[in-house]
């Protein structure tokens, strides 16, 4: 039996699945942009537009893993293990996805330059151009990690407290607003700030993790309706 079995299992299955899925999405976007270019002038970065959807995808995927804690318990593991190893999986997976997205930006920049297309990004982004690769990597990692962890928190809260678990959306929204004002995803004007990305991400992740720990540390398993 290997050490860190939950993280290893997830990295060997879920991470690969998510990377392949996202790769497929960007491939599709590339084809779509190519088709659209036949009819109109391209002015926007297609990769940047997909970025609008990613926070919600991360939140949804996170929430959908709420049953995972029950499954690992059925197979003899503990909540504590899950609450340590799942966040490790989250950090690594979101880092890999952020790296892949950065790579996709590189490819897109080269392609747009070759075709002499404009590659505008969303106004609220923390980067002004698609060549700020370090910033792109940082903000995507920040956003994905925070939204994914909040998704797992919300999913577990709903599993544990059912309807009352919807209250978890309140702290989750506050953390999203706080971090979004810095990393540029779900960035509302009144919440924008010039605080540095790394400390803000660290604080947001710590808060989300604290909430997740509180929710999952002694969560009782429920019997699914047959």
Closer to other proteins by CB, 34 or 67: give it: 67
- For helices 66-74 and 54-64, the axis angle rounded to 10 degrees is 30
Is 42 in contact with 118 (CB distance < 8 Å)? Answer: yes
Minimum distance of other proteins from residue 31's CB (angstroms) = 28
CA distance 11 to 92: 8
How many contiguous H segments (helices) and E segments (strands) does the chain have? Answer: 8, 0
Residue of 71, 110, 128, 166 interacting with other proteins (CB under 8 A): 71
Residue of 38, 74, 114, 163 interacting with other proteins (CB under 8 A): 74
Q: Does 8 bind other proteins (CB under 8 A)?
A: yes
Closer to other proteins by CB, 71 or 193: give it: 71
CA neighbours within 13 Å on the CB side: how many for 211? Answer: 27
End-to-end CA distance of the chain: 32
Closer to other proteins by CB, 127 or 159: give it: 159
CA distance 181 to 197: 10
Residue of 54, 57, 58, 68 interacting with other proteins (CB under 8 A): 68
Q: Does 162 bind other proteins (CB under 8 A)?
A: no
- Binding footprint of other proteins on the chain (CB under 8 A): 1-2, 5-6, 8-9, 13, 67-68, 70-81, 218, 220-221, 223-226
């Amino acid at each position: 039996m290997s050490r860190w079995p939950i993280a290893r299992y997830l990295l060997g299955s879920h991470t690969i699945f998510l990377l392949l899925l996202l790769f497929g999405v960007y491939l599709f976007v590339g084809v779509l942009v190519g088709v659209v270019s036949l009819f109109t002038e391209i002015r926007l970065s297609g990769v940047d537009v997909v970025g609008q959807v990613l926070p919600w995808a991360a939140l949804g995927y996170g929430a959908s893993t709420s049953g995972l804690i029950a499954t690992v318990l059925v197979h003899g593991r503990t909540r504590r293990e899950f609450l340590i190893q799942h966040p490790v999986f989250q950090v690594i997976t979101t880092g890999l996805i952020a790296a892949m997205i950065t790579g996709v930006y590189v490819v897109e920049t080269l392609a747009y330059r070759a075709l002499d297309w404009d590659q505008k990004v969303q106004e609220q982004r923390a980067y002004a151009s698609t060549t700020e690769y370090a910033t792109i990597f940082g903000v995507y990692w920040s956003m994905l990690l925070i939204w994914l962890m909040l998704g797992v928190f919300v999913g577990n809260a709903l599993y544990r407290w059912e309807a009352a678990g919807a209250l978890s959306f309140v702290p989750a929204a506050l953390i999203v607003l706080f971090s979004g004002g810095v990393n540029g995803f779900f960035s509302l004007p009144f919440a924008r700030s010039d605080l540095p990305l790394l400390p803000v991400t660290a604080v947001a992740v710590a808060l989300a993790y604290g909430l997740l720990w509180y929710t999952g540390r002694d969560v009782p398993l429920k019997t699914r309706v047959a």
